[in-house]
Amino acid sequence: MLVVATAALLGASLVTPVATQAAIPSITIWVDSPRKPGADLYAQIMKGKVNVNVQLHAQGDLVAKVQLFNTVKKGWPDVVFGPPNDVAFLKNPLVNDALQLDALQSPAIWKAFGNGNNWCKLNGHYYCVKNDLAQTVLWYNKTLMTQFGYKVPTTMAEFAAIGADVAKNHPGYSLGSLGDQAGYSSFLEPSQCPLNVAKSDTVVVINSKDSHCTRAATLLQPLIDSGVLDVRSPFDAGYIKDVGQAGKWLMNIGPSWWGQFVLRPASSYNIPAGVVATAPMPTWPGETKGYSGEYGGGIYTVSTHTKYPKEALAFAMFMVGDARNLVSVKNPDGSHGAPTYPAYGPGNKIWVQAVAKDTYYAQSIVPALDTQAQLIWGGTKPVRYDANGAWGASFDTEIAQSKNLQKAIDSYATYTSNAATQVGYAVVSK
């Protein structure tokens, strides 16, 4: 009775606050752990303007979850951070969960990405926002390189020669590892090995016998045999302990986020301050350009089912362009800022200025990152099958057993050829 009487007494005054509250947009966002500090900060900033529900999700579960949501007709998050290949799956008309974004912000903003958002531009339209460029560079321990008398390699032949000398004179030191997509982004992609070259929505090139693949296998196999290149994942706990934390890391080819996210943290490789440096990618025989692979480079997709597409896209743009996320946000390990090289031009300028001043590094890492940002090999394209998951399902299993790189590449090609055929691609060799 009290509630009824109170309502009658207040009358129309009850209507206004209820209507105002209902008018506040509400979005659910899925992010992985490196993006969560920025997403949580955005939720705080937007409080009272947009209700932002941040949920932590592993990148690999989106495909299965969206298929479930499509079946039950509910549950779709408004915006998701995920692996770059997700855009092809989500754009597939059978799934239809990647919203076309062109009209949601001005052409000037899209233009400000430069080439950074090309991955998200399919058939002339934008279907995602690229978070970062994961271009590979040569990361090296400047102190050890000087101590051992090595010059920074500018060619893959020089890289291999250093590897042979390390195996002979400095056993136990590492030039990197090959598992968990590292072998692909560090060596096969830069060598232009055609394993996922989508020529159209229905034709894909997968050819592990191409000379750009076999030359990589031939050059690297002796380094695998000697143990200078490890067959484990760079994130394998044993590898981290044996190499990073044991002070045996000499160099490796890795993405632009490697320093901030892998080499630096005490919980990871724990490489001390003042020794880490970068150099441009070594060139392969006969090549004049040192192409980069791309290890990661996640994307934000907005669901076709969202009621608030502009608000969903605004979150993605905050993550790639706002200094509060790029350089200021506090991470769980005590560091600040995003660990990745932004794909959005204005955001990139903010991030590189901060990183260039970072005294953790022996010298500025930015020049090499900037150089390689313009040299990402463009052969790999989004495909409708799980090209990323196939590394663990086929390549990693084979190379762990046989320690034979060519066999592992062949295994991956067989696996992805079957996967491509099952979703309607014609697989060709060139």
Listed by start position, the domains of the chain span 2-132+296-354, 136-294+385-428
Q: Are 381 and 356 in contact (CB under 8 A)?
A: no
| pLDDT at position 23 | 84
CA quadruple 236, 237, 240, 242: dihedral sign: negative
Q: Measured between alpha carbons, how far is 240 from 190 in angstroms, rounded to an integer?
A: 24
- Strand spans (E) along 296-350: 299-302, 341-342
* pTM for the full predicted model: 0.91
Residue 384 phi/psi, 5-degree rounding, is: -85, 0
Q: What is the largest CA-CA distance in the chain?
A: 89
Class of domain 136-294+385-428: alpha beta
Query: Per-residue b/e over 118-155, b at no fewer than 16 CB within 10 Å?
Result: ebbbbeeebbbbbbbbbbbbbbbbbebbeeeebebbee
Residues 6+ apart with CB under 8 A from 17: none
Q: Measured between alpha carbons, how far is 87 from 85 in angstroms, rounded to an integer?
A: 5
Nearest CA-CA partner of 175 in 219, 138, 148: 138
Strands 121-122 and 125-126 come out as antiparallel
| pLDDT at position 22 | 55
In this chain, the answer to whether the domains covering 2-132+296-354 and 136-294+385-428 adopt an identical fold is yes
pLDDT band at 409 (very low <50, low <70, confident <90, very high): very high
Instruction: Provide CATH code, domain 2-132+296-354.
Output: 3.40.190.10
Q: Which tens digits make up the pLDDT trace of 258-306?
A: 999 999 999 999 999 999 999 999 999 999 999 999 999 999 999 999 9
CA angle 36, 319, 80 (to 5 degrees): 65
